[in-house]
Each structure stands twice: as structure tokens, then as C-alpha cells.
Amino acid sequence: MSDAFKTVFLIDDETGKDVEFEVIDGIEVDGERYLLVVPLEEGEDKDRAFILKDVSKNKNEAIYRLVDDEEFNKAAVYFIEDNDEYEIEF
């Protein structure tokens, strides 16, 4: 993955609080783009990674959303196949 994408960004969680994430990997499979991210703040989710899916309408924007459980399992396999150092629990 290009260093240009290894940035920190904010998303709004269900509580309305901004949460900072660091992008640790990205992958494109069958025209779908996914990011593997980890939260920057210490807390209960500090050892968890999340998968976001690109839902942008055009290439001039970058809008990602958390994937649901079913799509998480599918995308996690893509990341594991691409990098065998990942340990992902289902």
C-alpha cells in the first residue's frame, strides 16, 4: 500500500464522538476497496482492527463506512491472503 494512504482520519461513531484511526493496510478486490484501520486512542478497542469499505460515489471523494459482520468476514480473508502476518478472529 502506498505511504500516501497511511494517514490518520476521523469518523463519527454512533455516540457522535470523533474517533481517530490509523490506516494500516488497504486492498482492492473485485472493484471494492477496503481499509484495515486501528484506533489511535487507548481504550477498550485498542487491540481491535476495523475494516472500512469505500462507498464513494466518484473518485473525487473518499467516503468509507464500517462493514457489517458478513462483509467483515469476507474482507478479512482478503487481507489474510494478501499478508499472512495478520491474525484475525472470526
List pLDDT tens digits, range 9-58.
666 667 777 778 889 899 999 899 999 998 887 666 667 889 999 998 88
- Whether the full predicted model's pTM is greater than 0.85, yes or no, is no
For residues 35 and 78, is the Cβ–Cβ distance under 8 A? Answer: no
Amino acid at 54: D
**Full domain range(s) for residue 13:** 3-82
Q: Please report whether residue 89 resides in a domain.
A: no
Model confidence at 68, in pLDDT bands (50, 70, 90)?
A: very high
Q: Please report whether residue 87 resides in a domain.
A: no
Q: Phi-psi region for residue 31, left (φ > 0), alpha (ψ -120 to 50) or beta?
A: left
Q: What is the number of domains present in the chain?
A: 1
